[in-house]
Structure 1
Amino acid sequence: MTLTTPALLFPAISLLLLAYTNRFLVLAQLIRKLADEERNQHQETNTRQILLLRRRISLTKRMQLAGVLSFLLCTLSMFALFLSLQLTGMVLFGVSLVTLSVSLIYSLWEIQISTNALNVQLQDIEDLLSAGNPRTGRRGGDA
């Protein structure tokens, strides 16, 4: 194994960490928006959303941790290979791949929860529409 093998992961891991950071920022925006809504009026869907957001934050933290650990192990692997410690470099690279896989699994789990959160919102919209005129799906008046 040469020094370039782990180096190939650098751009992929960097982009992955950027994507995770963007997810975290979106979660932060959602939480701030939800907090503002909750201050103005309490809604039952907010309670469900808060639970889902807590899980998503926890998973995002875990996937970022695993991604950073993967990046660090990949760097250490390159350093070991640079020092001609082939076995150490290969083991570190293998562990780096495992932690990257763990990070991706957390990401898939977070995506599943995110989808569930969107379904909660859609259900809320459907409930609001069904509270209106059942034939037209609109509230009040004639259409």
Structure 2
Amino acid sequence: MEELTLTTPALLFSAISLIMLAYTNRFLAYAAVIRNLHDKYLQKKDSVLIAQIKNIKQRLYLTRSMQVFGISSLLLCVFTMFLIYIEQHAIAVWVFGLALILLIMSLILLVWEIQISVKALEHHISDIENN
């Protein structure tokens, strides 16, 4: 088995940073949609709007979890580098493995969130297709 070096966890920095940027953009887009739905609901108390708000709320919480797992993964990558620096290689391997698992969990949540988003968009498309 090849030894874990400082460059291995460092390689994930750019990938995780790009993922976190995408997650943040999703979060900001959801915030805008929530504000819009809130304003519409104040004007007209519609049950369809309630369903949309529940859907977007679920997606918002999933995005928050994606961010938490992604940030935790990044922190563990940094900690792995520190452990390698202080020559605690056995612990570094396990910490890096945990960082990879957290990143995998973040990406699984992303797939789940995308599935929910697609279903929400399908409801809008079905309105058009039914006319």
TM-score by length of 2: 0.92
What's the counterpart of residue 94 of structure 2? 91
What is the root-mean-square deviation in Å for CA atoms of aligned residues?
Answer: 1.2
Per the TM alignment, residue 44 of structure 1 is displaced from its structure 2 partner at its CA by 3.0
What's the counterpart of residue 80 of structure 2? 77
2:93, 2:23 → 1: CA distance? 27
1:82, 1:59 → 2: CA distance? 35
Asked whether 1:47 is paired with 2:44, we answer no
Deviating 4+ runs (over 4 angstroms)? none
What's the counterpart of residue 119 of structure 1? 122
Q: Does the Cα contact within 8 Å between 1:66 and 1:100 map onto a contact in 2? A: yes
Q: Does the Cα contact within 8 Å between 1:62 and 1:103 map onto a contact in 2? A: yes
Q: Does the Cα contact within 8 Å between 1:69 and 1:99 map onto a contact in 2? A: yes
Which structure has the larger Rg? 1
2:97, 2:31 → 1: CA distance? 33
Higher helix share: 2
| Structure 1: segments with no counterpart, 5+ residues | 131-143
Identical amino acids, percent of aligned pairs: 45
Per the TM alignment, residue 88 of structure 1 is displaced from its structure 2 partner at its CA by 1.0
TM-score by length of 1: 0.85
- What number of residue pairs does the alignment pair up? 128
Equivalent residue letter for 1:67: G
The alpha-carbon distance between structure 1 residues 29 and 37, as it changes in their structure 2 partners (threshold 3 A), is same
What's the counterpart of residue 134 of structure 1? none
Give secondary structure in 2 for the equivalent of 1:84. coil
Equivalent residue letter for 2:8: T
Q: Does the Cα contact within 8 Å between 1:20 and 1:60 map onto a contact in 2? A: yes
1:57 pairs, out of 46, 56, 60, with: 60
